Structure 1
Amino acid sequence: MSPQTFMKQYINGEWQSGSSEKMVENVNPYTNQTLSNIPSASEEDLDRAYQAAEKAQQEWKVFTPAEVQSYFEELVKVVEKRKDEIVDWLVKEAGSTIVKAEVEYQAALGIIKESASFPTRMNGQILPSNTKGKENRVYRSPKGVIGVIGPWNFPFHLAMRSIAPAIATGNTVVVKPASETPVTSGLFIAELFEEAGFPKGVCNVVVGRGSEIGDVFVTHPSVKLISFTGSTEVGSHIGELAGRHIKDTALELGGNNAMIVLEDANIDKAVQAAAFGKYLHQGQICMAVNRIIVHEQVHDEFVSAFKEKVESLKFGDPSEKESVVGPLINHEAVKRIQEDIEKSVEQGASILTGGEAEGNIMQPTILTGVTSDMPAAEHEMFGPVASIIKAGSEEEAVKEANNSHYGLSGSVFTEDIHRGVEVAKRIETGMIHINDQSVNDEAHVAFGGEKESGIGRFGGEWALEKFTTVKWIGVMNGYREFPF
């Protein structure tokens, strides 16, 4: 397909220019070169997309499970065939390193394959009744039109994580991709569904600024559920709008994830895990390790080994295979992170290594002497900065881990697995891993957070539950007697 395709909207199976006077500039975060200027969608474009999705859903919802699965089987083939293009776009549009793009591609492919099983898993129930001669039937059906707002950090996977399950369960979708990654979180996905032969109107993509079409994207009368992955601040606004209009939401928001390293941990393994969990995609992951809470008995040993590991990580051009740390999404992110580092240092933290930036590339950084009231520990850094906090006991480590508004993911390192599980149970988080880092996402397992990290769960039966609804139909065998 011509690159010109990725400068248009995809509405009802047609590629067409956005009718807004505004443009969405798509920029390579490493080179700062403009990849394209996309005419933005207007409210009228968005309305046409929602109407197309609503009309298409009436036909799509009655396709047989085998018919839906055949479309998904073709989608898998198309995605596998175009893997190199997907990886290339993730590198140049999202600043992904090759290893991160590979991880993201495999995760998205897993979501598609898991979603292909959903059409035959939409089970109903027959329940007994306390009314004689009656049975209670519970039928499961799609919700209707789903609005998906894609993120920029893992754009292909995290958009697909909502799009594929929603469509597989009989819904249709309208996608508003992140303005920073309009291709990988939207337009390329539309092209893949088109190439796989999905009916017109099942998948629609509108590229536009949140300031212009964001609110109406949520409040449009056609949409039944908004699925959003992004910041807690934006998610809170979406939740407020959705609640006012009685619309369901699936919100996967921020994280300030802690890795606890107990005194009996395998330090070498903990160091390896912490480096991956912190610096994959420059730490721009909601699940990334942000705070490393280390027991005082092994603190110095961990810090020394971690410093050596981090200083060996290659940073720079994300298209080079050896690069581990690539660019941050834009220079505003660099400035925000450096301000948090400076304020934390003013409050007593020390820069053990890194801290410098050139363009959007920031060195892998370690801060020591961090306390929970410093910006580096209090904020979701969303960058290549690891904050190390010393804990005097297991109890103190748990308290530190829970000292956050967020509760998405986490990690506990200990040679005693039972102890690790007991510690994990005490952490207020939706996901946590023993002797592993915090960045884990498997298509068939419940994914989501507590506190300000979001509402709802993605993955497997939890996604199936989220994108469908149930109806109780009571059936009398004969007629019942009434008291009046």
Structure 2
Amino acid sequence: MNTDFSRIYINGEWQNGTSDKTMKNTNPFTGEELVSTQAASKEDLDEAYKAAARAQKEWAEELPQNKRAVIEKAAEIMMDNKELIIDWLIKESGSTYMKANIEFRASLNILKESGTYPYRMEGKILPSQTPGKENRVYRNPLGVIGIISPWNFPFHLAMRSIAPALATGNAVVVKPATDTPVTGGLIFASIFEAAGLPKGLLNVVVGRGSEIGDAIVTHPVPRLISFTGSTEVGRHIGEIAGKELKKTALELGGNNVFIVLDDADMDQAVESALFGKFYHQGQICMAINRIFVHKDKYDEFEEQFIQRAEKLKFGNPAEQDTNVGPLINHEQAERILKDVEASVKQGAKVRLGGKVDGNVLQPTVLTDVTNDMPVAENEIFGPVAILIPFESEEEVIEMANAYPYGLSGAVHSSNIERGTQVAHQIHTGMIHVNDQPVNDEAHMPFGGEKNSGLGRFNGEWVLEEFTTLKWLSVQHNRRDYGPFIK
């Protein structure tokens, strides 16, 4: 398996990009330069898409067992290189050792689920209103899919599109985030190259968004653009893709709620909130953004939550007992602290943390927060927990649904039916009772409502996104066209 990630990958060949810009990849904790890559130009992108289009035609006709064999071999190679992948996740994306291991397992599950897709390209035979006619419906690959992967869970969220796309007979061109070009893109070229994937089916272009960001969407070859990232960028991608009549699968930002009802188990709720807020420094689209606690339980929850948050170890992600590592870059820390400062001016209190060392923001807890403060209105995407009291179910449901996001959420109650009824009223694509919002299972539909995205990933639902249907009718007997034909 190739481990030289200084070049891009097009048509089965490792080559230098032809842009005059160089991409420097640095460790967000140490600042160390990991690798430098000559960036891809629009000409490189065009070459990648054309190679993908050529290779896809033959791949679409490949026998299902042969497609599955490549996917299974890729899973073997992943296992053989587990420590390499985990090491790159730690040093490139700032993942803690625990997070990197969880991300690896989730990615492996996606890959294994994708190995079933070549045998799930089901069609149908349906009756016809015309005598002697048979209606057939075929499920076919779309063709070429453009994938733009994020920096927070780069390996998992890139795998979530790459593996299903290939397994359903498509070819792909991947543009990883500039902060994670290896774990979000180039490492897949190594894995699938070693797995025997035919040349041209997987291409990885490392380049700046300002140079190739729009072009990867507007190029005439791809029929679908799969993007995971911010709502702002996702809206732009949806707009320019729509002009070209391309499909999009968009998994975007969230303002996820964590609701603690007055009959909740406090220990369980506190533990769930700690994980759902501080896992991977809160840099997860599904991470808790707002913690709503019933006024009768607020003081108890606040005390326990702060006591437990104080014990979280923060710092070097390479140390196996670290809970909270660095943010991906210093701009993220500055953005978060700006919202914290503005909220404090409006009456919020910093009860824990609030300080930055390098790119490491201490686990931070704010109390006396209201639902209209910047830390509540904006997606934090960092290790800052905010506690908001509420008086009734009606009030918390209204506050939960106040913003135009709906990705994930959680409700805690000792009465399962009550928790479920509240969960039903939260306008979101995913929600969990007596758990936290950060859940992703390879066989369950993943996606959001409102400004949190379009479409669903995983399981049978990604088949709907990455394939298309064709109606083919067969007239077995000569058709009578009536008085039209005399």
The TM-score with structure 2 as length reference comes to 0.99
The answer for the alignment partner of 2:49 in structure 1 is 50
Which residues in structure 2 correspond to 1:137-148 (within 5 Å)? 137-148=136-147
The answer for the alignment partner of 2:128 in structure 1 is 129
The answer for the alignment partner of 1:278 in structure 2 is 277
Rounded Cα–Cα distance in structure 2 between residues aligned with 1:281 and 1:23: 28
The answer for the alignment partner of 1:253 in structure 2 is 252
5+ unaligned residues in a row in structure 1: which ranges? none
The answer for the alignment partner of 2:301 in structure 1 is 302
Rounded Cα–Cα distance in structure 1 between residues aligned with 2:170 and 2:305: 47
Rounded Cα–Cα distance in structure 2 between residues aligned with 1:103 and 1:436: 17
Rounded Cα–Cα distance in structure 2 between residues aligned with 1:383 and 1:32: 19
- Write the deviation string for residues 174-202 of structure 1: whole angstroms up to 9, x where unpaired: 00011000000000111000011111011
Check if 1:189 corresponds to 2:188: yes
The answer for the alignment partner of 1:108 in structure 2 is 107
Counterpart of 1:463 in structure 2: which amino acid? Answer: V
- Write the deviation string for residues 90-125 of structure 1: whole angstroms up to 9, x where unpaired: 000000000100110011000000000001011000
The answer for the alignment partner of 2:161 in structure 1 is 162
Rounded Cα–Cα distance in structure 2 between residues aligned with 1:197 and 1:2: 13
Which residues in structure 2 correspond to 1:238-387 (within 5 Å)? 238-387=237-386
Counterpart of 1:180 in structure 2: which amino acid? Answer: D
Rounded Cα–Cα distance in structure 2 between residues aligned with 1:36 and 1:466: 34
The answer for the alignment partner of 1:422 in structure 2 is 421
Rounded Cα–Cα distance in structure 2 between residues aligned with 1:293 and 1:474: 55
CA RMSD of aligned residues (A): 0.8
The answer for the alignment partner of 2:22 in structure 1 is 23
Aligned-pair CA distance for 1:61:
0.5
The answer for the alignment partner of 1:83 in structure 2 is 82
The answer for the alignment partner of 1:66 in structure 2 is 65
Counterpart of 1:267 in structure 2: which amino acid? Answer: M
The answer for the alignment partner of 1:449 in structure 2 is 448
Rounded Cα–Cα distance in structure 2 between residues aligned with 1:225 and 1:344: 40
Rounded Cα–Cα distance in structure 1 between residues aligned with 2:8 and 2:118: 29
Rounded Cα–Cα distance in structure 2 between residues aligned with 1:218 and 1:67: 30
Aligned-pair CA distance for 1:2:
6.0
Aligned-pair CA distance for 1:131:
1.4
Rounded Cα–Cα distance in structure 1 between residues aligned with 2:16 and 2:382: 35
Counterpart of 1:113 in structure 2: which amino acid? Answer: K
SS in structure 2 opposite 1:233? helix
Rounded Cα–Cα distance in structure 1 between residues aligned with 2:245 and 2:96: 41
Check if 1:38 corresponds to 2:46: no
Aligned-pair CA distance for 1:37:
1.5
Aligned-pair CA distance for 1:330:
0.5
- Write the deviation string for residues 408-457 of structure 1: whole angstroms up to 9, x where unpaired: 00000001111111111100000000000000000000000001000000
Check if 1:389 corresponds to 2:388: yes
- Write the deviation string for residues 128-166 of structure 1: whole angstroms up to 9, x where unpaired: 111122121100000000000010000000000000000
SS in structure 2 opposite 1:130? coil
Rounded Cα–Cα distance in structure 1 between residues aligned with 2:478 and 2:220: 39
Check if 1:199 corresponds to 2:198: yes
Rounded Cα–Cα distance in structure 2 between residues aligned with 1:154 and 1:388: 26
Rounded Cα–Cα distance in structure 1 between residues aligned with 2:270 and 2:450: 28
Kindly, what percent of the aligned residue pairs are identical? Answer: 60
Counterpart of 2:410 in structure 1: which amino acid? Answer: S
- Write the deviation string for residues 256-289 of structure 1: whole angstroms up to 9, x where unpaired: 1000000000000000000000001100000001
Verify the 8 A CA contact 2:400 2:426 in the aligned structure 1.
yes
SS in structure 2 opposite 1:6? coil
Mean CA deviation greater in 105-114 or 124-133: 124-133
SS in structure 1 opposite 2:5? helix
Rounded Cα–Cα distance in structure 2 between residues aligned with 1:371 and 1:24: 41
Rounded Cα–Cα distance in structure 2 between residues aligned with 1:468 and 1:85: 33
Rounded Cα–Cα distance in structure 1 between residues aligned with 2:388 and 2:130: 61
The number of equivalent residue pairs is: 483
SS in structure 1 opposite 2:214? helix
5+ unaligned residues in a row in structure 2: which ranges? none
Verify the 8 A CA contact 2:2 2:190 in the aligned structure 1.
no
Rounded Cα–Cα distance in structure 2 between residues aligned with 1:24 and 1:279: 30
